[in-house]
Amino acid sequence: MYDYDLLVVGSANADLVIGVERRPGAGETVLGSDLAVHPGGKGANQAVAAARLGSRTALLARVGDDAYGRLLLDSQREAGVDTVGVLVGGAPTGVALITVDPSGDNSIVVSPGANGRLAPADVRAAACLFHASRVISTQLEIPLDSVVEVVRSLTPDSRFVLNPSPPQPLPPEVLAACDPLIVNEHEAKVVLGDACVSEQPEDWARLLLAKGPRSVVVTLGAEGALVASPDGTARVSSVKVDAVDTTGAGDAFTAALAFRLGAGASLAEAAAYAARVGAAAVTREGAQESFPTAEEVDAL
């Protein structure tokens, strides 16, 4: 038996959010709404999203010994996430500066802060969490060498899920462990680099599989997702909703997919569920505040 359905290794940020009529161009200043501060960061978001769905979830992350760090710890515990793996100190808590336009689209700049100090030694020291977890999920808002250490810390029976965001080229060792690699259009093109010569998601998935992942999921926003494995590809539709704020929707999708895979769902089944979770998330403002419960997802 596993103590945790999901271990998330990743970032924890304070999201500083301003609504704008339109996002500024280079050298331009625009006026926005009052500043709102929310708990965020891809790792922390995914942990909360999974816990809200009923997953037994732990988080391995690093925050600063400051007010933002306390905000993040409180939000994790309130959602039911085990924070035994959250390290405190070493640098200020990471911060994300987010602008959101009336359509719900966002632009994000991240100051990593303590996230950049989550070191391979911290990952090795958390070996007991890896042995206690069915699925391990991570992203790229922590150092890449720490992500490599995550892969090296996997047990033979665990499953590794990676969302390479913000995207960068990945070493073969990491790609080979992904089951699945979850990418949007931008992330797919960065990971593929010069190999990306098509605008078709099916081609991106095929080329990504050739790089070594055991499976691939391409998220397509309102159009749902595409899942791919050596057995073939399939489209997964989403639920049509009125988007209010897309912040955190990708994290909700990744968390839901990882959780359902750990529960024994097929890749297509998990992606279909994750698409509904992501759709529910965009109907509310904020990141963690927007994540639905399992009952709310069923209501869709």
pLDDT in tens, 29-55: 999 999 999 899 999 999 999 999 999
Q: Indicate whether 246 pLDDT > 80.
A: no
pLDDT confidence band for 197 (50 / 70 / 90): low
Rounded to an integer, the average pLDDT of 69-78 is 97
Q: For residue 124, what are the domain limits?
A: 4-299
The set of catalytic residues is 251
Of 101, 105, 146, the C-alpha closest to 10 is: 146
Q: Which residue has the higher pLDDT, 98 or 84?
A: 84
As to burial, measured by CB atoms within 10 angstroms (0-12 exposed, 13-18 middle, 19+ buried), residue 282 is buried
Lowest mean pLDDT among 61-65, 89-93, 185-189, 282-286: 282-286
pLDDT confidence band for 107 (50 / 70 / 90): confident
Lowest mean pLDDT among 133-147, 165-179, 231-245: 231-245
- The predicted pLDDT at position 6 comes to 97
Range picked from 94-108, 179-193, 238-252 for highest mean pLDDT: 179-193
Q: Indicate whether 90 pLDDT > 70.
A: yes
pLDDT in tens, 253-272: 999 999 999 999 999 999 99
Q: Indicate whether 118 pLDDT > 70.
A: yes
Neighbouring CB atoms inside 10 A of 156's CB total 4
Q: Indicate whether 288 pLDDT > 90.
A: no
Of 192, 263, 11, 191, the C-alpha closest to 112 is: 11
Percentage of residues of the chain with pLDDT beyond 90: 71
Lowest mean pLDDT among 25-29, 59-63, 210-214: 25-29
- The predicted pLDDT at position 194 comes to 75
- The predicted pLDDT at position 198 comes to 74
pLDDT in tens, 222-243: 888 999 999 999 998 877 887 7
Q: How many domains does the chain have?
A: 1
* Mean of the per-residue pLDDT values of the chain: 92
Give the CATH number for residue 276.
Answer: 3.40.1190.20
Q: Distance between CA 44 and CA 77 in Å, rounded?
A: 11
Q: Distance between CA 119 and CA 121 in Å, rounded?
A: 5
Q: Indicate whether 95 pLDDT > 90.
A: yes
pLDDT confidence band for 78 (50 / 70 / 90): very high
Q: Distance between CA 208 and CA 183 in Å, rounded?
A: 10
Rounded to an integer, the average pLDDT of 203-222 is 93
